[in-house]
Amino acid sequence: MLPSTLLSEATDCVTARSLAAVSLHRDLNGIGSKMNSAGCVAINSSATAAGGGGAGLGREIAATITGDGDGDDDTTNRRATAVTGRPAATPETATGIQYKLFVALETLFAVVLIAIDLVKVVGLALVPLLYEIYTIAVPRREKDVRGQLVLITGGGNGLGRAMAHLFAARGAHLVLVDIDLEAAERTCTELKRESGGTTKAWAYRVDVSKYEECRELAVRMERDGCGPVDILINNAGIILFAFVGEASVERENAVMDVNLKSHVWMTRVFLDGMVKRKKGHIVGVSSMSGMYAFPWGVVYSATKFAVSGFMASLTEQLRIQGLSRYVRTTCVNPYYVTTRKEVVEFLQKPRFEALTVDKAAAEIVQGILRQDFVVTVPRLFGVFTRFMLLFPVRVQQFVRDYIMREHELNDKLNR
């Protein structure tokens, strides 16, 4: 049995330390602590100017993170006194067995809290999980897009063009944005002809990697009476099969600009209208190479990981803003599609055949209309990839070598 005073002091210490941490967390929020994109904590406060941990708040942060007691224990004591009515025992005042008890209780406390949260998560997740499994057998109903306006970047060729045809067949109107105006105009003509003139379609020449041009597009669309955008499909992209440094700096730069920045710029321009109207859907075309490393196109793969990250973060942003019921998001991850000569030429000995443009576009459009958060084409590849990522990198490499046989994909390495 533990002596009751010892137990009480230990509990006070845990309470005090937790309170100090909570209070400090609030203080940090107050002074504008931020997570930057590199995953570092950036704290905009002069209090941290003294070498990030040497004095003041920096010292308190360091003490809280390391738990080494170098922080301001007066603060801890003051907060504990306010709550418990007597000063807290601290690692400095406690010795030997007391200190070990403080640490053990604190750890136990944290473990119990996590266990309670885990039970909550399992309970809450069960229903959506069962529902997702059910939708594999019985797919969700597709939404009706008759009369809606769908904007597709890179809509003149490949997947963009094929998706435009499928949306038009469902009664939607199209805005096709492409740097290749001729291709976009040609697709618009096809859409109008196929629908007997009932489909409205507009073509615009825009370099979607440039923010000013994206903004100007919105002005031009308003002038032309296109109406508000219901579904924005950020599809334009440049495929680059190259190891790092193989392509020119200009080419790598263009790949990064088009494949990532265009998603951010177009979303910036059109999200506001969707939020105001409480209606919209943003689609980001990423790739399977945005789910697992793709050594044959390193920079390309990096941009696709970035797109997947952008879409996942945007989804959460809308959720915490309470907008996710009105503005939906879909991230699309296709496997190889035979849209371009480069893809066909690269896939000399594919272990798994590339998808045809029509098949890929049909699955993507179905996923968008079912309002899935993530659409992987083919679906089974997505399940396989996620499963593979659970294992250590060395195990994943065996899968790459013996199941996917990536080294046989192309004779590039043997040339």
Ligand X SMILES: NC(=O)c1ccc[n+]([C@@H]2O[C@H](COP(=O)([O-])OP(=O)(O)OC[C@H]3O[C@@H](n4cnc5c(N)ncnc54)[C@H](O)[C@@H]3O)[C@@H](O)[C@H]2O)c1
Q: Is 323 in the site for ligand X (CB under 6 A)?
A: no
Give yes or no: 300 in active site: yes
User: How many residues bind ligand X, per CB under 6 A?
Assistant: 29
Decide: 158 and 357 in contact? Cβ < 8 Å: yes
Which of 9, 13, 24, 156: binder of ligand X (CB under 6 A)? 156
Identity of the amino acid at 192: K
Distances in whole angstroms, Cα of residue 401 to Cα of each of 298, 348, 394, 405: 18, 17, 11, 5
Identity of the amino acid at 215: R
Window contacting ligand X (CB under 6 A); options: 4-12, 35-43, 142-150, 178-186: 178-186
Which of 10, 175, 232, 239: binder of ligand X (CB under 6 A)? 239
Return the number of the residue (13 or 231) whose C-beta is nearest ligand X: 231
Return the number of the residue (24 or 306) whose C-beta is nearest ligand X: 306
Return the number of the residue (15 or 338) whose C-beta is nearest ligand X: 338
- Bridge partners (DSSP) of residue 332 are 285, 375
Q: 311: part of which helix (H) or strand (E)?
A: helix 298-320
Which of 9, 12, 178, 363: binder of ligand X (CB under 6 A)? 178
Spot the catalytic one: 292, 300, 335, 336: 300
List the helix and strand counts (H, then E) for the chain. 14, 9
DSSP string, 247-273: S-HHHHHHHHIIIIIHHHHHHHHHHHH
Residue 173 C-alpha from the chain's centroid: 28
Site string (180-219) toward ligand X, x via CB under 6 A: x--x----------------------xxxx----------
Which of 157, 267, 315, 330: binder of ligand X (CB under 6 A)? 157
Q: Is 269 in the site for ligand X (CB under 6 A)?
A: no
Q: Is 297 in the site for ligand X (CB under 6 A)?
A: no
Q: Is 364 in the site for ligand X (CB under 6 A)?
A: no
- Max distance between CA atoms of the chain, in angstroms, equals 88
d(CA 16, CA 32): 24
Q: Is 330 in the site for ligand X (CB under 6 A)?
A: no
Q: Is 159 in the site for ligand X (CB under 6 A)?
A: yes
* Closest CA relative to residue 252, chosen from 303, 308, 178, 286: 303
Q: Binding to ligand X (CB under 6 A): which residues in 276-295?
A: 285, 287
- Bridge partners (DSSP) of residue 33 are 43
Give the residues lining the site for ligand X (CB under 6 A): 153-154, 156-160, 178-180, 183, 206-209, 235-239, 258, 285, 287, 334, 336-337, 339-340, 343
Task: Give catalytic residue positions.
Answer: 300
